[in-house]
């Protein structure tokens, strides 16, 4: 919103950010926090949107309620439900480190300490969990 200054465009870009991130999940190496990675994707999409419109954002605008297309909302909800189900089906030894990394945003070292697991084992389990999710969520790509 701070880049495009338009609630409708910002909402569309937010959805595009998550879709792009999901599609590029296998390219995510884990060198940065997921939050940083998502922020970079969102920022790049917003800058591209401003460039495509060939106009600069302004602070002036209509205060209209932000509403997305109902089908987009349903698709996002369905994907979230499927993703949660796929995560829940992971074996506990893969699910726990993945959830600690992606949702609790812990470092690999913190996860290793918390789960009393060697660091390389944590890395391997997170990698395997991501691969399993990628396979389970293939229909959403």
Q: What is the pLDDT of residues 66-124, one digit of tens each?
A: 555 677 777 777 888 888 889 889 998 998 999 888 887 888 999 999 888 999 999 99
Average pLDDT over residues 51-56: 60
Residue 53: pLDDT band with limits 50, 70, 90: low
Q: Token pair of 97, please?
A: 């480190």
Q: Token pair of 132, please?
A: 């399993």
**What would the DSSP string read from start to end of 73-96?**
HHHHHHHHHHHHHHHHHS-HHHHH
**What count of residues does the chain have?**
141
Of 1.10.760.10, 3.30.300.180, 1.10.1740.10, 1.10.10.10, the CATH number of 1-57 is 1.10.1740.10
Of 1.10.150.120, 3.90.180.10, 1.10.10.10, 1.10.3720.10, the CATH number of 69-141 is 1.10.10.10
So what's the pLDDT on residue 118? 94
Flag the least confident range among 34-38, 96-100, 126-130. Answer: 34-38
**pTM of whole model > 0.85?**
no
């Amino acid at each position: 919103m701070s880049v495009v200054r338009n609630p409708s465009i910002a909402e569309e870009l937010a959805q595009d950010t998550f879709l792009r991130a999901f599609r590029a999940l296998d390219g995510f190496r884990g060198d940065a926090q997921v939050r940083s990675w998502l922020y970079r994707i969102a920022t790049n999409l917003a800058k591209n949107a401003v460039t495509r419109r060939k106009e600069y954002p302004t602070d002036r605008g209509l205060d209209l309620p932000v509403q997305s297309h109902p089908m987009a909302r349903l698709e996002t909800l369905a994907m979230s439900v499927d993703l949660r189900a796929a995560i829940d089906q992971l074996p506990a030894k893969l699910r726990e480190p993945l959830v600690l990394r992606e949702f609790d945003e812990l470092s690999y070292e913190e996860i290793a300490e918390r789960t009393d697991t060697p660091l390389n084992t944590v890395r391997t389990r997170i990698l395997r969990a991501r691969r399993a999710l990628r396979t389970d969520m293939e229909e959403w790509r």
